[in-house]
Amino acid sequence: MPFGNDAWFRYPFGWSLPPKMSLLKGSHTPETREASVRKQVYQDLAFPFAKLAEGVDVATELFDIFPLLCYPCKLRDVPGRMVRSHTGADTAFINLGIYGVPKPLRSGRPFKTVHAVRELEAWIRSVGGFQHSYCDSFQTEEEFGQMFDTALNAKLRKQYGADRAFVGVYEKTRPEVDVMAWMAEEKGWTEN
């Protein structure tokens, strides 16, 4: 939105920025939602700082998208945190943002986007990192449980009756589309 900082927009509509991800995702038609998942990559992940070079290599190999957003952050070890990378102390993490259209798609070739994101998710789990919850996650519930510790959340949901009123964390973060059908479709594709 190049006009987002102009006075004519900012005064009457500035309250609407930045838009919530749920609003943006909810306003998609089925066709635009599929395009937002399969024709581009929008992934934010965090993992131990020591794995930075490996993370950049994985992102490059899978997507070949540049520039990458990269900044350090401190992951605090606090009780109740759902991230499974507990070390007993605060840990230096790196946040890596991958946004854009993968190189094969820019060249007009087919690209197995869902498969590539699932490979990225497997790597994140293997190094004790996590994917931010506003990104499309193609993990199964079991894989999600390997990345996030939902035990305390489940206990409190049951204790306060929220399990009967609201969907769980996994259901809130997974795409509303049939990802497994897309994966089956992608399996038949050949990449040039």
Instruction: Note whether residue 18 is domain-resident.
Output: no
Per residue in 97-123, pLDDT (tens digit) is 999 999 999 999 989 999 999 999 999
Q: Is residue 5 part of a domain?
A: no
Mean pLDDT of 62-67: 95
Within a domain: 112: yes
pLDDT digits (tens, 9 = 90+) for 74-98: 988 887 788 876 667 888 999 999 9
> For residue 58, what pLDDT is reported?
98
Residue 13 lies in a domain: no
Stated pTM of the model: 0.82
Domain count, the chain: 1
Quote the domain boundaries for residue 90.
31-187
Q: What are the pLDDT digits (tens) for 2-55?
A: 777 788 988 898 888 777 766 666 777 878 878 888 899 999 999 999 999 999
113 part of a folded domain:
yes
Whether 181 is in a domain gets the answer yes
Q: Give the pLDDT confidence of 147-169 residue by residue, as tens digits.
A: 998 888 899 999 999 999 998 88
pLDDT in tens, 162-191: 999 998 888 888 877 788 888 888 888 876
Structure tokens at 35: 């395009």
In degrees, rounded to 5, the angle at the alpha carbon of residue 112 between the alpha carbons of residues 108 and 115 is: 160
Q: Is residue 6 assigned to a domain?
A: no
